[in-house]
Amino acid sequence: MWTQGHETKELTVSDDQRMFVPSQPLPAARTGLLTGFDPGTRILEAGFRIAPQFRPLPVDVVLEKDVAVRLRDGVTIHVDVFRPAGAAKVPVIVAWSPYGKGQGTSLSVMGVFGLVGLDNATVSGLEKFEAPDPAYWCARGYAICNPDIRGVVDSEGDSVLWDRQEGRDCYDLIEWLAEQEWCTGKVGMSGTSYLAVSQWFTAAEQPTHLSAINPWEGVSDVYRDLVMRGGMPDTGFAQQLQDGSFFGRNRKEDILAEVERYPLMTDLWRNKIPDFDLVDVPAYVVASYSNTLHTAGTFRAWRRIATQEKWLRIHNGQEWPDYYDDANVEDLRRFFDRYLLDQDNDWESTPRVRYSVLDLEGGDRVGVPAATFPPEGVTSTRFYLDARSRALTSDAPDAAASAAYVVDSNPSAVSFLTRFDAETVMVGYPKAHLWVEARGADDMDLFVLVQKLDAYGTPLQAFTVPNQSAVAHDLTDHGATILRYKGSDGRLRVSARHLDPALSTDDVPAHSFDRVEKLTPGEIVEIEIELFPIGLAFHPGEQLRFVISSRNLLGTLMPAIREYVGVNSGQHVVHTGGEHASYLQLPVQTA
């Protein structure tokens, strides 16, 4: 059952590299009505409602609760399986994450729904957090498998955070599911965030019976996306993830201690990057421009996975409302109907890319079809920084100049503007190519941002969720970036500026993070900074502002997360023109 059909690229992660801390019991706020250990099979009849605020089941559903599944190393995990009643065999969709399989009715999950403005009646409460709802899928001929993964709740073993161990574990579960008498032998995966990340790792292990995946926004490189974005140890969300998940009886990986001990790229971190070259199953990938945790990783994985049967949809909101939107669920069902039910439903005619163009004034375009991303007709265009005029210009300034700020002063930023005389649309990957100098310091933490301004210079923003209450405004004035989009941002610690030639392209720079190159007095260095992909429309008279700062310009991903403060001192200098022609490269539609 565990013989794999490919050569894996082994990584040596020694026991003394991985670090663990004791886990804790599941807290009351994360306990749902189905959390208690209660093995057995029962029928949930049509009309069953687990609690008054949730949707009822439209059909009879068989619940096999707390089924034991033994992994290849002897560890036993427990899963809940929801499947349609009756004798017909069905395919199954796996929702792999450390969030307890019975948490759908917990206060924490209901709180998240409230945060983004979703009604709890959207779901049945039988789903895992960020996962497919059995009420919908069982009514349409699918089973749903909700596992408590290694080390979580009543499952055995020590928990790990997003690495290849999870891929091997899920491989074993998939092959076990395929052998069950009720299963057709076809298995899919779906879900957002953690449930998306686990799909990259699982598909790279190439389980025989994995037939299709649906990663709906998630990181694809723990080092670059989660704990050391831009080479900065920004671990606020990692701490929330570590402290607020993986509740169980044994130990859980201490990723915070690992970051402190191993700040450079090592096999510990490479083990937390899926082998994209081995992902060869049909994939329906969903992304957005606005999730400051997931955006870069989702686009990276979509670019790099090997399968030729891959589709990308870029929406204009936040992933949870998008995932449970009725039309989007139906769209996903067409994908799974094709690859898990073998229906000839013309799914292959679906555009390989459907992207959004944000207007930020209520005129977003969604579902724009294309064969690639960026779409054809996009030209990577340089907008040169001019420190004398603080403008972005089409030609590099002949005269050298510089713009500077003192780190502890106000403002601790410099910005550059351009105004558009004609309708201008940008779709693709921006980057910053800068010449910078530190005075009174040997390093710099730089944050950059591309903003859209109206014709009068007012920054334009847009909520990504239905919740646009007074509290939502308070939360998003600074931080809670998943709730409100303010522009495309990037960051880089300048001593981590070395590019990885194997991963970098002209549009998307990627840093190796395997060395530290401090600055010397008077040294002017050339750097490239990746910014999040954009789809942005500018109407005549509107402006683009490019900001360079020593401060985190957007704040944290979610409320109540510890915010990273850049390690900066002295003065930051941005050089422009002459031999140091700094520029912002933007993907402009020219055809």
Cβ 420 vs Cβ 541: under 8 Å? yes
345 and 383 in a single domain? The answer is no
Give tens-digit pLDDT for 465-515. 999 999 999 999 999 999 999 999 999 999 999 999 999 999 999 999 999
**355 belongs to a structural domain:** no
**343 plus 432 within the same structural domain:** no
CATH number of domain containing 301 = 3.40.50.1820
Answer yes or no: do 315 and 390 share one domain.
Answer: no
Q: Which domain holds residue 540?
A: 378-589
Statement to judge: residues 342 and 394 lie in one domain: no
- Residue-wise pLDDT for 152-188, tens only, equals 999 999 999 999 999 999 999 999 999 999 999 999 9
Q: Is-contact 133 127, C-beta < 8 A? A: yes
Note whether residue 358 is domain-resident. no
- Whether 572 is covered by a domain: the verdict is yes
Quick one: 298 and 420 in the same domain?
no
Indicate if 533 and 569 belong to the same structural domain.
Answer: yes
Based on the domain organization, do 400 and 263 belong to the same domain? no
Output the CA torsion sign for 337, 341, 346, 347: positive
For 232-336, strand residue ranges (E) read: 251-253, 283-288, 310-315
Based on the domain organization, do 409 and 539 belong to the same domain? yes
> Minimal CA–CA distance to 189: which of 161, 168, 217, 210?
210
> Does 304 map to a domain?
yes
Asked whether the beta carbons of 174 and 209 are under 8 A apart, the reply is: yes
Side chain identity at residue 551, one-letter code? R
Would you say residue 291 lies in a domain? yes
324 lies in the same domain as 470: no
Q: Is residue 362 part of a domain?
A: no
For position 10, what pLDDT does the model report? 59
Tens-level pLDDT at each residue, the chain (591 residues): 333 444 445 566 766 789 999 999 999 999 999 999 999 999 999 999 999 999 999 999 999 999 999 999 999 999 999 999 999 999 999 999 999 999 999 999 999 999 999 999 999 999 999 999 999 999 999 999 999 999 999 999 999 999 999 999 999 999 999 999 999 999 999 999 999 999 999 999 999 999 999 999 999 999 999 999 999 999 999 999 999 999 999 999 999 999 999 999 999 999 999 999 999 999 999 999 999 999 999 999 999 999 999 999 999 999 999 999 999 999 999 999 999 999 999 999 999 999 999 999 999 999 999 999 999 999 999 999 999 999 999 999 999 999 999 999 999 999 999 999 999 999 999 999 999 999 999 999 999 999 999 999 999 999 999 999 999 999 999 999 999 999 999 999 999 999 999 999 999 999 999 999 999 999 999 999 999 999 999 999 999 999 999 999 999 999 989 999 999 999 999 999 999 999 999 999 998
61 & 151 share domain: yes
Closest-CA residue to 405 (of 526, 547, 521): 547
Q: How many structural domains comprise the chain?
A: 2
pTM of the full structure: 0.97
Residue 534 lies in a domain: yes
Q: Are residues 287 and 401 in the same domain?
A: no
275 shares its domain with 390: no
CATH code of residue 467: 2.60.120.260
In a domain, 370, yes or no: no
Distance between start and end Cα atoms, the chain: 52
